[in-house]
Amino acid sequence: MKNNQQDISAPQHEIAGVLAGKVALITGGASGIGFAIAQRFAAAGCKLVVSSRNTEHGINAENALRQSGADVLFAQADIAREDDVRHLIDVTLARFGRLDILINNAGPSGSAFGLGPIHELATDVFEQTMRVGVYGPLWCCKYALPYLRMQRGVIVNISALTAIRALPLMGAYAMAKAALEALTRQVANDYADDGIRCNSLMVGTVRPEANDISTLPASFDHAALDVAIAKATMLNRVGSYANVAEAALFLASHASQYITGASIPVEGGALAKIQYPDYRTAF
Report the amino acid identity of residue 272.
A
Q: Can you give 151-196 as a three-state secondary structure string?
A: HCCEEEEEEEHHHCCCCCCEHHHHHHHHHHHHHHHHHHHHCHHHCC
Side chain identity at 86, as an amino acid letter? Answer: R
* Contact between residue 267 and residue 204 where contact means Cβ atoms under 8 Å apart: yes
Radius of gyration of the chain (CA): 19
Active site residue 173: yes
Looking at the DSSP bridge assignments, the partners of residue 47 are: 23
d(CA 116, CA 120): 7
Q: Give yes or no for a contact between 272 and 235, defined as CB atoms under 8 angstroms apart.
A: no
Integer CA distances (angstroms), 177 to 74, 217, 243, 261, in order: 26, 24, 20, 15
Catalytic residue among 173, 241, 258, 279: 173
Positions marked catalytic = 173
